[in-house]
Structure 1
Amino acid sequence: MSTPQPPMPQTAAPNWQAAPGPSYPTYNSPIPVVRTHLGHALASEWTKIRSVRSTMWTLGVFVVLVVGIGMATAALVSANSTEEGLADQNPLSFGVFGLLLGSMCIITLGVLTTASEYGTGMIRTTMTACPTRGRVLAAKAIVFFVVALVVTLASVVLVALADVAMLEGAREPSGQEWLKGTLGISLYIALLGLLSLVVGSIIRHSAGAITVMIGVVLAPLVIAMFMFSASLQDLQQALIEYSIPNQLSVFYAQSLSESGPSGWDPLWIMLGVTAAAFAGAYALLEKRDV
């Protein structure tokens, strides 16, 4: 039988007390500590949008559609029309066909700018790096809007110059027509893409948001085509007047209806709708979990 050992004496826990002052008084971190601002968020979003392949694909297809269809339409009209038939024609107006199809590319890119991050989970990293959610949404909107505006304006100006050169019998566009047919419609397309970006932030699903935006562009005009009842005539007229294809044609003074938006009205309508949607997206972004 073993003899029990006496218990070990208990020692009092040392009363550690840190010396006053920093632990490493001579150490300076090589990493500068700066207060983050919107410029950092803009730089981050610019890096994202130019480094993903979807940007090059969507913008590349957009340029091909706008330039190709716009010039092909003008060439076809020039080959099959007389000078008398072109006398009252605005040569800039033939660019609207390519823009209508090309707008689908801008819509797709706008949705992917926000919704794709929710699909991949990258949004968690983004919000960790920049906890101010409103700043993230604003940076995405600014970067996308500038990219969409520059690419659209360059494409539209190229088509306008080519169409004017090919349609020699058409009248010379006025300064107001040049401004609306280039800068005005480019701002409208960029705002349409910005609306798509906001819808992508609200829905958080790429396919769903793209489907919604395509419906916004095409559904009113398609629905109006099947309204044969006389009681629905006023509704049919409103759907035609305020459809996006008709608003695009207004920039070339070729509205599908005699009433409705005219001049710069489509731009202000799109600006108001986009601003309202942006406010809703901001409110949801602050309340939702990432």
Structure 2
Amino acid sequence: MSNAYTSPIPIKRTNLGHALASEWTKIKSVRSTVWTLSIFLILVIGIGLLAVANTQSDDYQDVPFTVPAFFGLMLGQICLITLGVLVTSSEYGTGMIRTTFTASPQRHRVLAAKALIFFAIAFVASAGSILLVGLMASGAHSGPEAGDIAWGGTVVKGGLYVSLLGVLALAVGSMLRHSAGAITTMLGVVLVPAILPGFLGIWESTQKLGEKMGDYNAINSLAAIFQIDGPDSSTGSSQLVLLIVITAAAVVGAFALLEKRDV
């Protein structure tokens, strides 16, 4: 009577923690992450500190100390969008996604891990850079001439907004599976709503649509978060909620398509 074979190698059931560890290893070991995050930090911190050096204390009477970071974020958000796309689409381009799904057949777990790891990295980088610029501005210009506007919320909201844009790009990259196509699509999402209101305002029937589009495009949303128009202006909460809804819908669509398609 033969005995059943028992492997001497301990077998553990895979879980989300293993997928997170795998995605963290992949995202930190590729050059695209280092380059895009480095450029992002240079833009936000570099332009921010340049603005700090060229402003006076009375320039902060009606705006928070983090407002210099806004100028760098207008460009830096493109870096996070690009990185978000590459996190998913690059594996499809190289064919490595087959190896990933062979090692982890539960595809939804892989995509969830990618989104969580990317969001954590993007939020730490963006919120950290905004905080640094705010600290430098408050240290250089704090005094009776500067205003006393709370700026902690701009750190969280600003970091959250650009990070969610990156997650939206990640979901678009997963759905399109093509880096150039996904990046172009996301650039359209960011740039077209900023340009189109100027044309929609020409006709009376489309003026209201143009105004709403102008209020909720990425650049004006960040401007609202950083209270560019003063402490009594919108704080960008409605714009942030809209982006959360759009990003959630895109992520749900990415999960749905992931299970229906072949690799």
Q: Aligned pair in 2 of structure 1 residues 252, 67: CA closer, same or farther (>3 Å)?
A: same
Verify the 8 A CA contact 1:90 1:170 in the aligned structure 2. Answer: no
Within the alignment, does 1:39 sit opposite 2:39 as a pair?
A: no
Partner of 2:2: 21
The residue identity in structure 1 corresponding to 2:239 is P
Measured in 1, the distance between the counterparts of 2:210 and 2:146 equals: 33
Partner of 1:121: 95
- Deviation of 1:172 after TM superposition, in Å, equals 2.3
- Deviation of 1:252 after TM superposition, in Å, equals 1.8
Quick check: which one's helix share is greater?
A: 2
Measured in 2, the distance between the counterparts of 1:194 and 1:88 equals: 32
- Deviation of 1:262 after TM superposition, in Å, equals 4.5
RMSD: 2.0
Measured in 1, the distance between the counterparts of 2:141 and 2:199 equals: 36
**TM-score, structure 2 as length reference:** 0.92
- Deviation of 1:135 after TM superposition, in Å, equals 0.5
- Deviation of 1:74 after TM superposition, in Å, equals 2.6
Could you report, residue by residue, the CA deviation over 1:148-197 in whole angstroms, capped at 9, with x for unpaired residues? 111111111101111222334321222xxx23211121111111111110
Measured in 2, the distance between the counterparts of 1:30 and 1:172 equals: 66
Within the alignment, does 1:90 sit opposite 2:64 as a pair?
A: yes
Within the alignment, does 1:56 sit opposite 2:37 as a pair?
A: no
Could you report, residue by residue, the CA deviation over 1:1-54 in whole angstroms, capped at 9, with x for unpaired residues? xxxxxxxxxxxxxxxxxxx22276xxx534211111111111110110010011
Q: Aligned pair in 2 of structure 1 residues 159, 51: CA closer, same or farther (>3 Å)?
A: same
Could you report, residue by residue, the CA deviation over 1:110-147 in whole angstroms, capped at 9, with x for unpaired residues? 00000000000000000000000100100101111111
Verify the 8 A CA contact 1:247 1:255 in the aligned structure 2. Answer: no
Verify the 8 A CA contact 2:20 2:117 in the aligned structure 1. Answer: yes
Verify the 8 A CA contact 1:246 1:255 in the aligned structure 2. Answer: no
Measured in 1, the distance between the counterparts of 2:134 and 2:69 equals: 7
| Structure 2: segments with no counterpart, 5+ residues | none
Measured in 2, the distance between the counterparts of 1:243 and 1:63 equals: 23
Measured in 1, the distance between the counterparts of 2:157 and 2:104 equals: 34
Verify the 8 A CA contact 1:70 1:96 in the aligned structure 2. Answer: yes
Verify the 8 A CA contact 2:61 2:148 in the aligned structure 1. Answer: no
- Deviation of 1:62 after TM superposition, in Å, equals 0.3
- Deviation of 1:241 after TM superposition, in Å, equals 0.9
The residue identity in structure 2 corresponding to 1:107 is I
The residue identity in structure 2 corresponding to 1:104 is I
Partner of 1:74: 52
Matches within 5 A, 1:173-212: 173-174=149-150, 178-212=151-185
Verify the 8 A CA contact 1:91 1:170 in the aligned structure 2. Answer: no
Partner of 2:148: 172
Verify the 8 A CA contact 1:55 1:109 in the aligned structure 2. Answer: yes
The residue identity in structure 2 corresponding to 1:64 is I
The residue identity in structure 1 corresponding to 2:255 is Y
**TM-score, structure 1 as length reference:** 0.84
Greater shift after overlay, 183-192 or 136-145?
183-192
Larger radius of gyration: 1
| Structure 1: segments with no counterpart, 5+ residues | 1-19
- Deviation of 1:223 after TM superposition, in Å, equals 1.3
Measured in 2, the distance between the counterparts of 1:21 and 1:173 equals: 78
The residue identity in structure 2 corresponding to 1:42 is L
Higher relative contact order (CA 8 A, sep 6+): 2
Identical positions, percent: 49
Verify the 8 A CA contact 2:62 2:149 in the aligned structure 1. Answer: no
Verify the 8 A CA contact 2:66 2:131 in the aligned structure 1. Answer: no
Q: Alignment length, in residue pairs?
A: 259
- Deviation of 1:268 after TM superposition, in Å, equals 1.6
The residue identity in structure 2 corresponding to 1:278 is V
